[in-house]
Chain A
């Protein structure tokens, strides 16, 4: 009986030891994970990324501009003006991408109440607004030689103007509302309502007869533009994405400093 009890005790001890070891290792993993995602670690990563982007940006910009302005061929119909595509199309893609990112982050923030998602959304919004305006302005400049007019109230152009309105309302709601809870609710509502506009922008050229041409590049289907034009387009997209990353990191860093400045008074 004693021997049985001895074995039972030793078995329990060894099992408990295993469980406690696994719990300890899990706890350590979580601890390391949280340490990795802390503001302190993120700040270090931001610093390094800003330096890295600053060092490579001009090289990629020069390669992109060389392809877009010199190497890529003229269009048989539009001639030289097709080169405007290399800034207009990536701008529009980034504008829609930023809005979609803000939409998903706002939903996640609303469900899980993770403040970092709100800070990221807040940092992305001005970039999205900037690229939407850029897409509209460059589109207008492209419209004059190809359509014969600077502006037309067609579905694609009007939906882009609506996107600008939603971006502006989102940014204003963040700046003007002081109450944090109310700010989060109103800004998320605005973004969710505005998200209806995203598929409208994408499919407006298919649903209605518009001056704007249908999509030349699709993710699933075949592309209607030649590879010699896709290469500069992808390069210019890369340039814009790197630029966006740089601006985002700077804005995110500003937000972290702003929060830390606010919390300075809490240390005792």
Chain B
């Protein structure tokens, strides 16, 4: 019985390692993607802030998507 139990344990170790690696890798990949997205959003907002006020107003009036990007920058995903 002890031999069987150790066999189950050794088998389950491989399963646990595979699942843990997968979950950890998925989490890291998600975090890295989110970090890149946030970086681009912040860069975009700061680039827009750097622009002269008159030009910024034109940009905001002409482009709907820029407004949406700015809105999403203030919100967290």
B65 touches A141 (CB 8 A): no
A264 touches B47 (CB 8 A): yes
Q: Mark A239-263, 1 if CB is under 8 A from B, else 0.
A: 0000100110011011011101100
B30 touches A246 (CB 8 A): yes
B69 touches A257 (CB 8 A): yes
Q: Among the listed B15, B30, B51, B69, which residue makes an inter-chain contact with A247, where contact means beta carbons less than 8 Å apart?
A: B30
Residue of B with least CB distance to A258:
B40
Number of interface residues of A (CB under 8 A): 41
Among the 9-residue stretches A13-21, A37-45, A113-121, A218-226, the one with 4 or more Cβ atoms under 8 Å from chain B is A37-45
- Nearest-CB distance from B61 to chain A (Å)? 10
A257 touches B18 (CB 8 A): no
Q: A83-B15, A130-B25, A247-B30 are in contact. List 20 more A-B contacts (CB 8 A).
A: A43-B68, A43-B72, A80-B8, A83-B19, A84-B18, A88-B18, A142-B18, A250-B34, A251-B33, A251-B37, A253-B37, A254-B33, A254-B37, A254-B40, A256-B69, A260-B44, A260-B65, A264-B44, A264-B51, A264-B59
Give 22 pairs: A residue, B residue, CB < 8 Å, sorted on A: A39-B65, A40-B65, A43-B69, A47-B72, A65-B19, A80-B12, A80-B14, A84-B18, A87-B22, A130-B29, A134-B22, A137-B21, A138-B18, A141-B14, A145-B11, A243-B30, A246-B30, A247-B30, A250-B37, A257-B37, A261-B40, A264-B59
